Amino acid sequence: MRVLKPQPIYRASAFKRETSSVIWQQAIASLPSPHPLQSWTWAEFKSRWGWQPIPLLLTVAESRWEPLAAAMVLKRKLPRLPFSVLYVPRGPLLDYSDGALRRVVLAELERVARREKAIFIKIDPEVPRSYGYDPERPSPTGAQVIRDLQAHGWQFSREQIQFRNTVVLDITRPEDEILAAMKQKTRYNIRLAARKGVVVRAGTPDDFPVIAAMYRETAERDGFAIRPLAYYLDAWQSMFQAGMAQPLLAEYENKPIAAVVLVRFGKRAIYMYGASTNEERQRMPNYLLQWEAIRWAKAQGCETYDFWGAPDNFVETDRMWGVWRFKAGFNGQVVQHIGAWDYVIRPFWYWFYSVAIPKYLNLLRQQQKPK
């Protein structure tokens, strides 16, 4: 006779607020796919930029040491209104293949949103919707999560804060195998950069202002908006002090011409920030820089290298197409996620916040452009 394993009962479970950074870090490290944006370090950093962290754990019974789920909720109070907005960046963290658990977590987050008088709560979990892009290979778990979200009244968000898709490289293989699997042109450009005198070195916090200036130059050249440079300096310094961040700089004749800030968390390294100047681009510094970043991550014991960003749609008109062509040469695995989802508590204010205000601000920007 077949013996059925007892299934966990989550009905009485509820999120509890965690006050210990040590317990928090241990808890999220034990959950599937822990992400630095759910870390205590990132939450403390965001607290200096207008957000109030609310670290919530769901544990087995009353145990603080057996976490089932975690959600580092960031809360922002809205000026002149008695409401707030809530965001769970790259979370919540849990085993998304457990249908009963994920439904409890969704219900708990809805309860938290009402308690905090939120207009809406946004989640942005790393749940794959499909793998690859030509052709796509659907993820059954992703489809189930989307059905649960829709059944609970969540809606796909107009505002996707993080990149929805990414490219992930398996770096458990020997270096020569990783290099051999890359596209021929990528290997050629890595070697070209070395022959042309590009040198990559590990950076320190003293290099952060130089990297920030390069990041601003990159944004101006490529046409994307960035935050004040003080924001990035604060983020990088905070993560470096926590042992999570490592800058690498590509130099020619001792002058920085490109840089990355890698963020390491668990067994993954993420290429979260990249920058370059307009000088010496013919020396292909970014190719050698990425290769040395991969080698650094591998030396640190990481198993995957996350290129942090790929097109929403794999067509040449997508804003990320040029970046994708560069990343594609390293022959990683495309992972398309389910994206950010909103649970709306106050529909009118949600429309006002997510539609009316952005349209008004865009109109102001258009009027301020030089004629």
Q: Are residues 348 and 332 in the same domain?
A: no
CA distance 335 to 270: 14
* pLDDT score of 350 more than 80: yes
CA 165 to chain centre: 10
* pLDDT score of 184 more than 60: yes
Average pLDDT over residues 234-241: 98
Selection from 29, 25, 52, 50 nearest residue 40 by Cα: 25
Q: Are residues 188 and 332 in the same domain?
A: yes
- Looking at the 3D structure of the chain, how many domains does it have? 2
Looking at the domain assignment, is residue 249 inside a domain? yes
Work out the percent of the chain whose per-residue pLDDT is above 70. Answer: 92
CB 150 within 8 A of CB 106: no
Q: Are residues 41 and 130 in the same domain?
A: yes
Q: Are residues 156 and 184 in the same domain?
A: no
Q: Are residues 270 and 357 in the same domain?
A: no
Q: Are residues 314 and 172 in the same domain?
A: yes
Looking at the domain assignment, is residue 256 inside a domain? yes
Residue 370's pLDDT band (cuts 50, 70, 90): very low
Looking at the domain assignment, is residue 139 inside a domain? yes
Q: Are residues 81 and 179 in the same domain?
A: no
Question: For residue 356, what is the domain's CATH number?
Answer: 3.40.630.30
Q: Are residues 294 and 353 in the same domain?
A: no
Work out the percent of the chain whose per-residue pLDDT is above 90. Answer: 86
Looking at the domain assignment, is residue 60 inside a domain? yes
- Report helix, strand or coil for 368: helix
Q: Are residues 171 and 266 in the same domain?
A: yes
* pLDDT score of 162 more than 50: yes
pLDDT at 359: 73
Q: Are residues 269 and 353 in the same domain?
A: no
CA distance 68 to 101: 8
Estimate the crossing angle of helix 99-115 against helix 140-151, to 10 degrees: 40
pTM of the model: 0.92
Task: Report residue 173 as tokens.
Answer: 């293989």
pLDDT at 371: 44
Looking at the domain assignment, is residue 7 inside a domain? no
Q: Are residues 48 and 92 in the same domain?
A: yes
Dump pLDDT digits (tens) for 98-137. 999 999 999 999 999 999 999 999 999 999 999 999 889 9
* pLDDT score of 63 more than 60: no
CB 260 within 8 A of CB 246: no
The domain of 59 spans 16-160+340-368
Residue 364's pLDDT band (cuts 50, 70, 90): low
For residue 49, the 8-state DSSP code is T
Task: Report residue 349 as tokens.
Answer: 């204010």
Neighbouring C-beta atoms of residue 207, cutoff 10 Å = 19
Q: Are residues 324 and 235 in the same domain?
A: yes
Residue 336's pLDDT band (cuts 50, 70, 90): very high
Looking at the domain assignment, is residue 345 inside a domain? yes
Residue 368's pLDDT band (cuts 50, 70, 90): low
User: What's the Cα-to-Cα distance from 353 to each of 61, 85, 359, rounded to whole Å?
Assistant: 38, 10, 10
